[in-house]
């Protein structure tokens, strides 16, 4: 019997940047995100004979062992030693530096816990996904999602996908995978940035403000918080030693264009993760105006609406 799960990527509007515990992968603060319905990972898991897992990512064998180590956590919880065959694929370019670990670990958590016979509630599933990747906790839910930074941090849905029909326009501004991954970038920031404490102190108020803005469907307010959180996260990384700079010239140009367009009445705001691409949120009818902002600087666009929760099915072979 095979279990097949799908999960969507997500983009944080109040960023997760820094851990307070590496072993349990505990975030130093909370975060707040929107789930992206058009960026999907599909993962199948089935028990196999023998002691070794077989893991393929987009058709290529995974030799990093990261997924197998994560599966060990789930096997410990289930008290079963079953080896597993995992096949996972993304319908969006992984190498483009988009958040494939978020949707990937969310889908894997859902499919593998089922394959191992674990019956867990949503909160527990988000805690396990977090152990794989912090942002993955949020991808189990649809819509607008918060990570609550307790001693065993978990994710909760703040509003469902249909609450507010915003779109996300992802401007790709470079080719190839990112130079400093999120985990390394944030660990280096925690270890060496003298702005890190100030960054962490700023997060709770931003989460509160972002939640209120989403519940009120107030784009101006959400724009203020999301851009502030993004710029402060990058400021903390820039102040590391040596500083981590994720942006290229096109990233900066797009920041200026989005801000100028908003001051001329286009309802849109940007956010940027641990890479050079720029994600712009706006209502559906503003998408053409936003897409036009990429002219001459962006080398590709991905459009997504806000998506639903991760799902799992049992498939007989």
Residues forming the site for ligand DP6 (CB under 6 A): 12, 15-17, 25, 31, 99, 101, 133-135, 182-183, 273-274
Q: Are 143 and 159 in contact (CB under 8 A)?
A: yes
Q: Give whole-number Cα distances, 8 to 157, 253, 268, 303, 309, in Å.
A: 14, 28, 22, 13, 8
3-state secondary structure (DSSP) of residue 137: helix
In angstroms, what is the minimal distance from the CB of 160 to ligand DP6? 20
3-state secondary structure (DSSP) of residue 301: strand
Instruction: Tell me the C-alpha distance between 60 and 88, whole Å.
Output: 10
Q: Are 11 and 279 in contact (CB under 8 A)?
A: yes
In angstroms, what is the minimal distance from the CB of 116 to ligand DP6? 22
Instruction: Tell me the C-alpha distance between 102 and 182, whole Å.
Output: 12
Tokens of 250: 């096109």
Identity of the residue, 153 or 261, whose beta carbon is nearer to ligand DP6 in the bound complex: 153
- The answer to whether the Cα torsion of 277, 38, 135, 215 is positive or negative is positive
Identity of the residue, 114 or 234, whose beta carbon is nearer to ligand DP6 in the bound complex: 234
Identity of the residue, 184 or 285, whose beta carbon is nearer to ligand DP6 in the bound complex: 184
Identity of the residue, 134 or 267, whose beta carbon is nearer to ligand DP6 in the bound complex: 134
Identity of the residue, 40 or 82, whose beta carbon is nearer to ligand DP6 in the bound complex: 40
Cis omega (within 30 of 0) for bond into 41: no
In angstroms, what is the minimal distance from the CB of 102 to ligand DP6? 6
Q: Counting runs of H as helices and runs of E as strands, what totals does the chain give? A: 9, 14
Identity of the residue, 134 or 142, whose beta carbon is nearer to ligand DP6 in the bound complex: 134
In angstroms, what is the minimal distance from the CB of 17 to ligand DP6? 6
In angstroms, what is the minimal distance from the CB of 190 to ligand DP6? 11
In angstroms, what is the minimal distance from the CB of 314 to ligand DP6? 28
In angstroms, what is the minimal distance from the CB of 88 to ligand DP6? 16
Q: Are 144 and 36 in contact (CB under 8 A)?
A: no
Identity of the residue, 44 or 236, whose beta carbon is nearer to ligand DP6 in the bound complex: 236
Q: Are 114 and 310 in contact (CB under 8 A)?
A: no
């Amino acid at each position: 019997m095979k279990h097949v799960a799908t999960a969507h990527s997500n983009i944080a509007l109040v960023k997760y940047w820094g851990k307070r515990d590496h072993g349990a992968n505990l975030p130093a603060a909370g975060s707040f995100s929107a789930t992206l319905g058009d960026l999907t990972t599909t993962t199948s898991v089935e028990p196999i004979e023998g002691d070794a897992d077989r893991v393929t990512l987009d058709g290529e064998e995974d030799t990093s062992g990261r997924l197998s180590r994560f599966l060990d956590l789930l096997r410990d919880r289930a008290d079963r030693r079953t080896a597993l065959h995992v096949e996972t694929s993304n319908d969006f370019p992984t190498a483009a530096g988009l958040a494939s670990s978020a949707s990937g670990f969310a889908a894997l958590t859902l499919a593998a816990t089922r394959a191992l016979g674990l019956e867990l509630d949503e909160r527990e599933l988000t805690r396990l996904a977090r152990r794989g990747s912090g942002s993955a906790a949020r991808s189990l839910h649809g819509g607008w999602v918060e990570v609550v930074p307790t001693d065993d941090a978990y994710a909760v849905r703040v509003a469902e996908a249909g609450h507010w029909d915003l779109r996300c326009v992802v401007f790709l501004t470079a080719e190839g995978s990112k130079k400093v991954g999120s985990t390394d970038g944030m660990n280096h920031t925690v270890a060496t940035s003298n702005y890190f404490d100030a960054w962490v102190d700023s997060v709770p108020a931003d989460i509160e403000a972002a939640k209120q803005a989403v519940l009120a469907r107030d784009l101006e307010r959400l724009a203020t918080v999301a851009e502030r959180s993004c710029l402060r996260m990058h400021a903390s990384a820039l102040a590391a030693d040596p500083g981590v700079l994720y942006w290229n010239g096109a990233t900066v140009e797009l920041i200026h264009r989005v801000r100028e367009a908003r001051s001329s009445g286009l309802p849109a705001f940007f956010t940027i993760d641990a890479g050079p691409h720029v994600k712009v949120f706006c209502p559906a009818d503003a998408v053409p105006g936003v897409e036009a902002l990429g002219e001459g600087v962006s080398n590709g666009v991905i459009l997504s609406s806000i998506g639903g929760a991760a799902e799992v099915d049992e498939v007989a072979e």
